[in-house]
Amino acid sequence: MPSDKKTYFTPKSHRWSSKLPASAAVRAGDLLFISGQVSADANLKPSALGDVKAQARNAFAKIKALVTEAGGSMADIVDIMSFHQDVRSMDTVFDVGRQVFKKDFPAWTALGMHGSYHPEFLVSIRAIAHLGPGKKKCATPKSLAWMNKLPMSAACAKGDYLFTSGIVSADAAGNTVSPGEHYAQARICYDRLRDALKAGGAGLDDVVDMICFNQDARGMDDAVNCWCNEVVEGLPVNRATSYTCIAMTGFHKIGMVGVYRAIADFSPGPRVATNLPSVHWHKERIAGAAKQKEGRLIGISGQVASDGARNIVARGDPTAQARYCFSQIRGVLEKHGASLDDVVEITSFHKDPRAWRQVMQVGEEIWRKGRGPAWTPIGCTGLYLEGYQHEIYALAMV
């Protein structure tokens, strides 16, 4: 399945990125994928030290410059994911977002992290813009009315795609529901997710990519079991969506232990799932990679270093584990008739945030410097099995 031509953006302001197998932004079709932007000069030297508001302004300014260079505007942004060194700074970054987005707010998922490229970066903001024709539709149902106080929409749709904000266990006023309880919160979040999808004109059958963030890695089983055994019970494995689980430091309000974000594709289906027997969840209702039959976007579950029997591969070797993860991504893509050349975005999650350099060195075996995917490396607190050093989540366009 051949890809349409991709356009890579790595301007002089991102000179540091030109030395890596990554791009500041990648356009494929109508979508522009923008890597996590930080407050840095052209050599990745941190700026506005200790000032999260200034760093957020600088990150959004970089996003604006990239989307403008690609021929769009900030009004075309449909999805934001922000990573915060201190979860208490989220509201400050939202305040900056109110100055950036005046109406028709994008979907926005805000997450705690424990590191980025450099310890002085307080926030990293990645984005997706839709530069094609059509009107952006932003919707927030009554059950998620608390989002109306923030510069986010529960669902943001344009063209073939819909993005949801990070769904949390909260009532309409924003109060945490079932604080600290992973399974109970998962149930509530999946109900709210249905509400958000419906408000945007989509349903669960349109979802091609799911990602779940947990405050405690031990809550991943509750999140996945609720999804597989209740939400998509009876769904054939070959019709599953991708599903990624990552543990992060925290979320918007105390007591929230899970955040759930989805991408839907309105292209004609049915959804097609691929997987490999070399991943331990291959018989569950979780795809290694999923797309709508006639769609272009492929959601790729976070790939990890274990075999089909849960044995850790290359324990203690971050380089070898990264190489294994990329081989898994290659394998599920090949089953869709695609390849690693079709990957347009990577978010790599690292137990040790310093490991991003080693993982990108492996990326040099795959992509040219300055012409790879939009790539955001993030420090996380936990992955599903002890021994994993990274989880590599990706999107591809065919």
Within a domain: 236: yes
Within a domain: 134: yes
The residue segments making up the domain with residue 385 are: 6-397
Q: Which residues of the chain have pLDDT under 70?
A: 1-4
The pLDDT value given to residue 127? 98
pLDDT per residue as tens digits for the range 246-302 = 999 999 999 999 999 999 999 999 999 999 999 999 999 999 999 999 999 999 999
Distance CA 216, CA 219 (A): 6
The pLDDT value given to residue 4? 63
Mean pLDDT, the chain, whole residue set? 97
pLDDT per residue as tens digits for the range 224-261 = 999 999 999 999 999 999 999 999 999 999 999 999 99
Write b or e for each residue in 247-274: b if 16 or more Cβ atoms lie within 10 A of its Cβ, otherwise e: bbbbbbbebbbbbbbbbbbbbebebbbb
The pLDDT value given to residue 216? 96
Within a domain: 1: no
Which residue type sits at 75?
A
Structure tokens at 43: 């050599």
Within a domain: 294: yes
Within a domain: 11: yes
The pLDDT value given to residue 1? 35
pLDDT per residue as tens digits for the range 86-116 = 999 999 999 999 999 999 999 999 999 999 9
Q: What single-letter DSSP state applies at residue 228?
A: I
Cα dihedral 102→65→69→261 (10° resolution): -60
3-state DSSP helix/strand/coil % of the chain, to nearest 5: 30, 30, 40
Report how many domains make up the chain: 1
Distance CA 78, CA 354 (A): 30
